[in-house]
Amino acid sequence: MKKVFFPILLLFISVFSYSQKAENIIVVTFDGLRWQELFCGADSMLINDSSFVSDIKSLNKKFWAPSAGERREKIFPFFWNTIAAQGQLYGNRQYGNKVNNSNKYWFSYPGYNEIFTGFPDDSVNSNDKNMNKNENVLEYINRQNGFKGKVAAFTSWDVFDAILNEPRSGFLVSSGFDKVNLPDAEFKLLNEMQQYSPQPLGESVRPDFLTYAIAKEYVKKYRPRVLYIGFDETDDYAHMGKYDQYLYMAHMTDKWIGDLWNYIQSLPQYKNKTALVISTDHGRGDKNKKEWTSHGSKVPDAGEIWIAAMGPGIPALGEIKKEEQHYQRQLATTIANLIGLEFKPAHPVMHPVPALAGK
């Protein structure tokens, strides 16, 4: 009897762990972070080019190593020590594992529209602050029982007020240098920091460290069930051709994600009850040294992206090394599915990423 019972018990535990859903979810995006750095680490052509790096020796000391596995872990220790052990990573094209934009534009607003609405809308074809007519998954979740008022988004780029259509969506969207209109003393201080901080990337982009500080403080004070953080500086420094700063910001963003994850594991509401989904809006060029700074439909490879996730209901498969094709548009339905919901807006959407849904 024991010989029969034990395998059945293991099967029951396995099925239960795959089918259970998270109670909360955190979504994070790196703007314009290439799959090449995430999976292979620093690019040997770029890290040793003085036109892109101000101090080659110190950058190599920090981020270079003989193998791709060592290099990527130097930049992204949280991804490769935690997510790779507990979750799943998609998009290493060296194994034929592909994730792509479905939209044909390969730049930010169309990419973020696709992430959150699941709909690669051809009419979303600029970065102008036009209010998005497509329903997004965050506003859908905010209407569901138990989630109303428990959804919040903090983004460095000020166009997110339009991408997420804040007036219609009905949840907090703090984008760019938006003042946070909350009564707590901590937010008053953060608002002053925003007001008097340098603006190295212009008036439309809040420094990522401030975005993270505001988001983490909001978690401390208000305990949202759904949180989105949109970082921006990887894309900004890439456009400037500053490969050193691009790597530093990628590394720092990994550190912030790890810090937030470790913090929420100390809170009963979130510990072992929270899914984490991370991706990017678009890729970048890779055919020659100059193309890495750019993206858009005329730049080969700029539609190549990646996805990482972990949490309840997500089997710990690590880096996915089998040949398969996934799309950015699957993220909206995946986000809803991970917390036990089905996102069915008026526009067409695609099924969730199967293995992230425990299938």
Spell out the alpha helix ranges (H) of the chain. Answer: 2-19, 35-40, 44-47, 56-63, 68-75, 77-78, 84-86, 108-117, 137-142, 160-163, 166-169, 185-196, 208-222, 233-239, 243-264, 330-338
Among residues 137, 175, 72, which one has the least CA distance to residue 328? 137
For 89-141, what is each residue's pLDDT tens digit?
A: 999 999 999 999 999 999 999 999 999 999 999 999 999 999 999 999 999 99
Using the structure block, give the residue that is written with the tokens 């909001």.
218
Q: 274-280 and 151-155: which strand pairing?
A: unpaired
For 322-353, what is each residue's pLDDT tens digit?
A: 999 999 999 999 999 999 999 999 999 999 99
| pLDDT value for 287 | 81
CATH class for the domain made up of 2-357:
alpha beta
Q: Predicted confidence band at 312 (pLDDT cuts at 50, 70, 90)?
A: very high
Using the structure block, give the residue that is written with the tokens 């209010």.
131
For 218-246, what is each residue's pLDDT tens digit?
A: 999 999 999 999 999 999 999 999 999 99
Output the average pLDDT for the chain: 94
For 111-123, what is each residue's pLDDT tens digit?
A: 999 999 999 999 9
